[in-house]
Structure 1
Amino acid sequence: MSSAVLGARNLSGCEHRLALDFAERGDAAASDVSPEARRRIEAAQSHRASVIATLHGFQSGQPADTIVTVDDGPHRDRVEQTRRAVESGAAWIFRAALPTDAGRGRRGHAEALIRHDGGYLPVIVVNHRVTTPTSPDRPADAPAPTLRTSPLWGWLPELDATRSFRSQRRDVLRLSHLTAMLDDLGWGVDAADRWGGLIGLDADCIVAVPLTAAMDAYAEVFARRRAVVDGQVRTGPRRVAECRSCHWWPRCEAELVERRDVSLVVGGSQSLVLQDAGIVTVDDLATHRGDPPADWPGAVSFDDAIVSARCWVDGVPLARRGDRPYVRRADVEVDVDMESYSERGAYMWGTLLTDTTDPGRDVRYRAFVTWDPLPSVDEGRSFAEFWAWLSAERAAAHAAGKTFAAYCYSQQAENRWLRGSADRFHRVVPGVPSRAEVDAFIGSKEWVDVFEAVGRNFVCPRGKGLKRIAPVAGFGWRDDEASGEASMEWYAAAVALDGAPQDLSQRDRLLVYNEDDVRATKVLREWMSSDAVLDLPSSRDLLSH
């Protein structure tokens, strides 16, 4: 009989990581976590505790024996408290711990169990948004709403036309996992009417997630994952997005490099297609000429994959797509970089202004920042000041007959918080623009994404991140530990977030990091416009080898 016992987090992600964790650590839950993963875990725990306190507060008027919060302590004691609460028919059981089922190989816990139709439904709390507001101008012929939500104070799900569901597979898998455990214990509800509750970052409702149809897919996933940890399914390293934060990556990378595995230069799903076609190594791909494999995804350029492999073999960092790269330039150029913390908000808008027509004008870095722990209304104040400054510089350039452009690296993040700040603070904080004003700026030719320009102009075998590309242009960061993940740790210390020890020196560190990011964008853009970029080989040259 299998000895593998899996929690819900073992049901998604890299199968090879799961196999290594179990084979080398003896437990599928024994995986090390990176500082960034630890930060996310701690933030999620804090959010869950806050939401549970809110839910409990809504039930403060109910008889004490119908509302149970399981105490901290050994797992065995927590399971026993949960069992007694179920046997007593408690209406809400907060921080429920389910007994580990060694035979079926399941373990799990729920932020809450709600009594419903003689059984219990699981409720989980997650630290990301699970719904998106729908437009108030919803057309009359739009599809009827299917999402059901419930108020936080009780299980009363109804159709909700004001939101749409941002479904994430891992959330549905966890609810399905808990539902299976409740069913096995005899604590579940009728199999024809299975639901789970999901509370997201906004914590403004309980999303009712239908699970009846999801249970079959869960059973298949669970069976395969158990087979992986039991060694019945062979796994091996393959480079995927998850590798960036995996503690096994140095070991896997060494193995992949030694065998020159093709996944080093293409995406995970693309590498499977290539391997099925007999293109196993980077060298195989670099020398391949002819049509792509039949299952090659149409949205991905096969020529780019070959060029990436050729670059890897030749030790070339980038290849030009055409003769000369192009990025829009202007008389007055402003580089912009936003710093945010998870989904709580954007605490800094860093800027660097360059007037290319006036050598006497200083290239000046300026940051608009709030050090009030997020979320905070002061975030709206700093954003309003940033927007006023940017708008004034833009207007001044136009008045002087000069062209203007503002630049960012990967506008998806900046656009999200430009719009989000307008949505949250317009008419609340003076000076915050409307959503329409923000959208007009984003849609203009004066808002330039250098990340997109890099993608248009270069094949990038090692990725298109700023810290991958800017060093090719000769830029280096002053802080050797500078990264998006590290900045999260620095910010938590800078503002004593969630009770963390305060370290005011981290504020200066964040300002240096942000300034280097905007300077990196400027250096990269100017390099792309210079003759120095012509030292790189072109894709055409590499494909002709």
Structure 2
Amino acid sequence: MSSAVLGARNLTGCEHRLALDFTERGDAAASDTSPEARRRIEAAQVHRDHVIATLHGFQSDRPSQDAVVVDGERHRDRVEQTRRAVEQRAAWIFQAALPTDVDHGRRGHAEALLRRGDGYLPVIVVNHRVTTLVSGERPADAPPPTLRTSPLWGWHPAVDATRSLRSQRRDVMRLAHLTTMLDDLGWSATDADERVGGLIGLDADCMVVVSLDAALAEYSTEFTRRHAIADGEIATEPRKVGECRSCHWWTRCEAQLADRHDVSLVVGGNQATVLMDAGITTFDQLASYRGDPPADWPAAVPFADAVVSAKCWVDDLPLARRLDRPRLRRADVEVDVDMESYSERGAYMWGTLLTDTTDPSLEVRYRPFVTWDPLPTLDEGRSFAEFWSWMSAERRKARAAGKTFAAYCYSQQAENRWLRGSADRFHGVVPGVPSRAEVDAFIGSKEWVDVFEAVGKNFVCPRGKGLKRIAPIAGFAWRDAEASGEASMEWYSAAVALDGADLDETQRARLLTYNEDDVRATKVLREWISSDDVLELPTVREILTHRGDD
């Protein structure tokens, strides 16, 4: 009999976190849930409830015993309701609870079980996008589309050329986990030519048909390993990965990694694996390394950057200059831009800071364009239109005066996403919203400058390139000690009473302060890059040349 019982969320992510969660149950940290994690959990539940209500509504013409909604406080009651619905061959079973399989060590639930032939396939609902709409005509030489979708009202899979898949491994593993549980219960659709599951994403406009034939084999191997880790049969140790930033064990793991000068503090996950396989386990070893990169080092990542980063860690240096004189495009009229969004729901604020470098007497003015209607809302289009109209007017005014213009953001990936997304959703619907072509022309112009990209071109950044990592090096400090993207989600939820949260309008002022500080941080950072102060940093060449002089 197994000791650990795994849910689908235990099948992906950090193995060391899994080990700690199962072997350190006495440690209170194991049950900590951060405010950001709680926000994601609550938002996901609201989305699931909405989608389940929609799916159930499509079945309103069926007898109640044919479209069953499982409910109840106790797990055993929900399991019994699910079992009865299966026995009566219900077409849809919503909020299905599967019995915990102690022998195999599995537990799970599905937002829906959908009858197919002599059994059921699982349908799950997730709070992120799982498809992207395909714009324009497909090239003549493009391979034929393979993505299959089904309408929400019934299982009618068909090839869908209008969408492309945004697959996430955790979704596929959850469907494989549930399918395996259904197999063990004898509830799965065994007469089908192909094992499949249904996936409904944030847009909730279709069910994606997920093929599980190959995934079930991968799942079996992964489950066996993960189960052994949870049972303490396979030892794990900490390593820094992207998941660490939101993990409740990070403080503990970070201290252990720092104590042993672990190389994963300096380089990314796959790079750390390559270095460790080559016997380079500490950043001291990496800092003193000479010779060719290890054989499997990823070609897209300059190995010299890793060595310089390690040397910066050893010598406690914040940055290293790639160039003797860092370069960043400047203009007569400069606008710093920072957008605030809430998950996938939309962008509720566009903050701006206008500087006319030709006239020091003019006020450097912060101006936000914001909606406080809870997202998603049509008023988002209104605030975006006002932002775009204002910025376009400043561009025209600068040109008419014979001045150059540039707008700056920190990491244009986020801003570009919502610039394009706002145009796609609101052009022709809300007055003043530009077309997608107008937005793309601006994004592709020299007047749109990504300071994050400039930081990467000008510096090796041993502790990351985030604005809150880099701007303090230039001398900037945020006024709110809790300022962060994750915290702003909590503030926004309260500021607009999102999804039934308690309204706290004081959080609106807090968000405005946070946004203003972000645009001012961008301004301070880019001006520092152009100043002589930056020349106090050592260059990459100097670090690599003199590292043997210690």
Give TM-score, length-normalised by structure 2: 0.98
Secondary structure of 1:271's counterpart equals: helix
Q: How far has the Cα of 1:232 moved from its partner?
A: 2.0
Deviations 1:218-247 (A, max 9, x none): 111111101111222210011111111111
Q: Which residue pairs with 1:237 in the alignment? A: 238
Aligned mates of 2:137, 2:13 — CA distance in 1: 38
Alpha-carbon distance in structure 2 between the residues aligned to 1:348 and 1:225:
42
CA distances 1:18-70 after superposition (whole Å, capped 9, x unpaired): 0011001179x965322111111110000000000111111111111101000
Residue 163 (1) aligns with residue 163 (2): yes
Instruction: Indicate the residue corresponding to 1:301 in structure 2.
Output: 302
> Does residue 365 of structure 2 align to residue 348 of structure 1?
no
- Mapped to 2, the partners of 1:298 and 1:276 lie a distance apart of 17
Q: Which shows bigger deviation, 73-82 or 130-139? A: 130-139
CA distance in 2, matches of 1:136, 1:295: 39
Residue aligning to 2:285: 284
- What SS does structure 2 have at the residue aligned with 1:123? strand
Please state if 1:198 is matched with 2:172.
no
**What one-letter code is carried by the residue in structure 1 that aligns with 2:487?**
A
Aligned counterpart, 2:379 = 378
Distance in 2 separating the partners of 1:113 and 1:428: 38
Q: Show the counterpart of 1:124.
A: 124
Structure 1 pair 26/123, CA: closer, same or farther in 2 (3 Å)? farther
Matched residue, 2:45: 45
Residue 189 (structure 1) aligns with: 189
Partner of 2:221: 220
Give 1:251's aligned residue: 252
Which residue identity lines up with residue 269 of structure 1 in the other structure?
N
The separation in 2 between residues aligned to 1:455 and 1:72, in whole angstroms, is 53
Superposed CA offset, 1:422-458 (max 9, x none): 0000111111000000000000000000000000000
Cα distance between partner residues in 1 of 2:541 and 2:317: 14
Amino acid at match of 1:170: R
- In structure 2, runs of 5+ residues without a counterpart are none
Equivalent residue number for residue 65 of structure 2 = 65
AA of the residue aligned to 2:107: R
Q: Deviations over 1:73-97 (max 9, x none)?
A: 1101100000000000001000000
- Residues 260-294 of structure 1: per-residue CA shift (max 9 Å, x gap): 11111111211111111111111111111111111
Identity of aligned residues (%): 78
Q: Amino acid of the residue matched to residue 503 of structure 1?
A: D
What is residue 413 of structure 2 aligned with on the other side? 412
**Conservation of the 8 A alpha-carbon contact between 1:192 and 1:212:** no
What is the CA–CA distance in structure 1 between the aligned matches of 2:222 and 2:235, rounded to whole Å? 16
Specify the alignment match of 1:208 in structure 2. Answer: 209
* Aligned residue number for residue 261 of structure 2: 260
| Distance (Å, rounded) in 2 between the aligned partners of 1:363 and 1:341 | 28
Given residue 307 of structure 1, which amino acid in structure 2 is its aligned partner? V
The letter for the 1-side match of 2:298 is P
Gaps of 5+ in 1: none
Corresponding residue number in structure 2 for 1:448? 449
Which residue of the partner structure matches residue 34 of structure 1? 34
The SS at the match of 1:339 is: strand
Tell me if the contact between 1:149 and 1:157 (Cα under 8 Å) persists in the aligned partners.
Answer: yes
The equivalences for 1:50-199 within 5 A come to 50-190=50-190, 192-199=193-200
Q: Deviations over 1:286-338 (max 9, x none)?
A: 11111111111111111111110111111110010110111000000000000
Q: Indicate if the aligned counterparts of 2:240 and 2:265 stay in contact, CA closer than 8 A.
A: yes
The one-letter amino acid paired with 2:20 is: L
Query: For 1:46, what is the secondary structure of its paired residue?
Result: helix
What is the deviation of 1:143? 1.6
Conservation of the 8 A alpha-carbon contact between 2:30 and 2:249: no
1:306-321 mapped onto 2 (5 Å cutoff): 306-321=307-322
Q: In terms of mean alpha carbon deviation, does 282-291 or 186-195 score higher?
A: 186-195
SS in 1 for 2:124: strand
* Other structure's SS at 2:24 match: helix
SS in 1 for 2:236: coil
Which residue matches 1:434?
Answer: 435
- For residues 432 and 363 of structure 2, the distance between their equivalents in structure 1, rounded to whole angstroms, comes to 27
Q: How does 1:449-528 map to 2 (within 5 A)?
A: 449-528=450-529
Give, as a single letter, the amino acid of the residue that structure 1 aligns with 2:349: M
**CA distance, structure 2, for counterparts of residue 352 and residue 412 of structure 1:** 20
Find the residue that maps to 1:270 and give its secondary structure. Answer: helix
Check whether the contact 1:198–1:208 (CA below 8 A) recurs between aligned residues.
yes
In structure 2, relative to structure 1, the CA distance for the partners of 1:228 and 1:192 (3 Å cut) is farther
Q: 1:118 deviation in Å?
A: 1.1
Shift of 1:139: 2.3
2:4 is equivalent to residue 4 of structure 1 = yes
> Contact 1:338/1:349 (CA < 8 Å) preserved in 2?
yes
Rounded Cα–Cα distance in structure 2 between residues aligned with 1:311 and 1:140: 51
Distance 1:386 1:463 in 2: 30
Higher mean displacement: 390-399 or 29-38: 29-38
Between 1:30-39 and 1:301-310, the stretch displaced more is: 30-39
- Quote the Cα distance in structure 1 between the aligned partners of 2:348 and 2:107: 39
Provide the rounded CA distance (Å) in 2 between the counterparts of 1:41 and 1:466: 27
Offset at 1:197?
Answer: 0.5
Q: Which amino acid aligns with 1:90?
A: A
Tell me how far apart the structure 1 counterparts of residues 2 and 119 of structure 2 sit (CA, whole Å). 29
Deviation at 1:394, TM superposition (A): 0.5
- Say if 1:309 and 1:461, in contact at 8 Å, map to a contact too: yes
Counterparts of 1:385 and 1:303, CA distance in 2: 46
Give the alignment's Cα RMSD to 1 decimal. Answer: 1.2
Deviations 1:381-405 (A, max 9, x none): 0000000001000011111110000
What secondary structure is seen at the aligned counterpart in 1 of 2:213? Answer: coil
Aligned to 1:538: 539
